[in-house]
A and B are shown apart, each in its own frame.
Chain A
Amino acid sequence: MATTTKIGLEIHCQLTGAKSKLFCRCSSDYRGKAPNANICPICAGLPGTLPLLNQKTVEFAAMITLALGCKFPDEIAFYRKNYFYPDLPKNFQLTQYNAYGITSIGVDGRLEYGNGKDARIRRVQLEEDPGRLVYASGSMDTSLYVLIDYNRAGVPLVEIVTEPDFADTKDVRMFLDKITSIIEHLGVCDTKLEGSVRCDANVSVDGGNKVEIKNISSFADVEKALRYEITRQRTMTSREIQVRSETRHWDDARKVTKESRTKEEEQDYRYFPEPDIPLVMLGSEFVSFIKQSMPELPDTRKERFMSKYGLSAHIAQVLIGNKELADFFESTLMIYLSPKEIANWIVTDLMSFIDERQKKEEEEEEHSLFAGLKVGPEHIADLARLVDQDMINRATAKQILGQIIRTGEMPSALAKRMHASRIDDVSVLAQTVQSVFQMEQAAVQDARRNANVANFLLGKVMKITKGKADPKVALEMIQKKLKED
């Protein structure tokens, strides 16, 4: 039986690029601070305080709106979402809402995320992050009380809501990668910071009831949560058990979705417009200001990489898929301009080291791509130059990269040391070449007709000398000998 899956996403990105919180002057950088040291009367919800909307966050949310192909309304408004929870200082969240006219910053967008697939974006909205709860005994169930830290309360978030347009977890992964690359390129969110991107998802299988999964605290876990939930729903369907429409929570530790304790169906948010924040008029002047100040988006960058540097679509795609990688590439070009050579080194060789490292730490949070690798643009530039100038061949270059990535030594310095131990003594090398010619007589005959076969002979020389022969000198010797005999 063919099964259909429908997945929709609600993505929360902290606007870490903003210096202050959404409605107050406290720093938006709450990480690593002592509990409740990063608060003021406004974000702590003290009586008599009023929200002061941060201009930068509107600018950032507008950039995301444009990048996701959404439309702007003429004016935006904020709404109060009323519900009680101990992490909410005011017991309502300031957010945006679209029930009586459009008032959220973005609406009705569409984003192509790869392989010609796209997803509809329902809306983009600005809202505040709540505080953080810590359980006294480490677990919610056994703690007699909860510890509350309001340092995060009021940190600006952009929520991106998609239509249920994803058919499988791979699509979701690609979409999230694209979102990550976009917000990184816009400079609005540092996705490497723990908890800076979070996701809620809704899933239905075979036209059954929709289940919401909340609490997925990193993009890395989204696929896991979805796979678990899809399997759970399919198993139920196959046993002819009806899937209930409900909200489930992703259990980070056990990697399962579990029934939510609160009766969400009884929740009624009593939305109404926040009276303390005036409507913010956007208008065409604002839109053109945002268009002007938009940094280059990944898709545009890809085009540029192809047209300016002559990269293939595939190579360009891999580079722009991660802003760090693309930036690394361009920084390398600033030192030594050899785009194709450098792109190849980054995309094939460097990436394999990165993948290897990432596999090893598997469950670790996503931090810098180059973490633990002692390699910078200057190393790759140096390596590419050595290859371009025939100072070393590719095999040696790879060997060099494998070493310097751990030591941080410059490739040219290592090459020089390796060179010193090489067999460039002509008489020793001549003996080796002589013996190869005797062993491979058929190949020698071929090589006289076809110049390419000389490389085969060189390979043999290198093998016998365990790579210690200077390939340049050896090849010259082989070619000379082919002509002589």
Chain B
Amino acid sequence: MVVTREEVKHIGWLAKLEMSDAELQRYTTQIEEIINYLNKLDTIPLEQVKPIAIKKKFSELRKDSPENFEDAVLGTGYRKDGFVKGPRMV
């Protein structure tokens, strides 16, 4: 087995995705099939090949001038005194 149920469960924890046992089972099977396909990449020797990348010069970066964003950024929802409410941290 390439991908185990435990691995998918751990990834689910990292990615904060709640999965039922049935989902976990189904995803494990499907993801194993996908990862097996991606393993193709491991069969080609590519040590010398440099990845392509977009490059910019220092002079092309954004100039440091502040600007206020006038419109409301955060919509309504669970809010208090201008703060955004989040779940408890314990």
Residues of A that sit less than 8 Å from B by CB: 18-20, 25-28, 34-37, 39-41, 44, 46, 52-58, 75, 77, 82, 84, 86, 133-136, 140-141, 143-150, 261, 266, 268, 270, 273, 278-282, 286
Contacts and interface: CB of A to CB of B under 8 A. Distances in A.
A86 B56 CA distance: 32
Contacts of A268: 14
B80 interface: yes
A27 B58 contact: no
Interface string B15-57: 0100000000000000000000000000000000000011111
A58 B86 CA distance: 33
A282 B61 CA distance: 12
B64 A147 contact: no
A149 B58 contact: no
B6 interface: no
Contact of B73 (A25, A46, A278, A281): A46
Interface of B: 10, 13-14, 16, 53-59, 61-69, 73-74, 78, 80-90
Given A146-B88, A147-B85, A279-B54, A39 B61 contact: no
26 contacts: A20-B67, A25-B65, A25-B66, A25-B69, A26-B66, A35-B82, A44-B74, A54-B64, A75-B55, A86-B87, A86-B89, A143-B88, A146-B86, A147-B80, A147-B86, A148-B83, A149-B83, A149-B84, A273-B53, A278-B53, A278-B54, A279-B56, A280-B55, A281-B58, A282-B58, A286-B58
Contacts of B84: 36, 147-150
Nearest to B50: A101
Given A39-B69, A84-B16, A268-B14, A146 B62 contact: no
Given A36-B74, A55-B63, A149-B83, A140 B53 contact: no
A44 B81 CA distance: 18
Name which of A19, A25, A37, A57 has the most chain B CB atoms within 10 A of its CB.
A25
A148 B85 contact: yes
Nearest to B90: A141
Contacts of A77: 53
Contact of A55 (B55, B62, B80): B62
A159 B66 CA distance: 23
Contacts of B64: 18-20, 54-57
A278 B64 CA distance: 18
B66 A19 contact: yes
Given A25-B66, A286-B58, A146 B89 contact: yes
Nearest to A60: B64
B69 A37 contact: no
> What secondary structure prevails in chain A residues at the interface with B?
loop
A145 B86 contact: yes
Nearest to B51: A273
B89 A133 contact: yes
A20 B65 contact: yes
A134 B67 CA distance: 26
Contacts of A52: 62
A188 to B, nearest CB: 12
| List of 10 A-B pairs having minimum Cβ-Cβ separation, nearest first | A40-B69, A56-B64, A147-B83, A35-B82, A55-B61, A25-B67, A278-B54, A278-B56, A86-B86, A20-B66
Contacts of B54: 278-279
B4 to A, nearest CB: 16
A37 B82 contact: yes
A56 B62 CA distance: 8
Contacts of A18: 64
Given A18-B64, A20-B67, A39-B73, 5 more contacts: A39-B74, A41-B69, A147-B80, A147-B86, A286-B58
A335 to B, nearest CB: 34
B56 A281 contact: yes
A37 B58 CA distance: 30
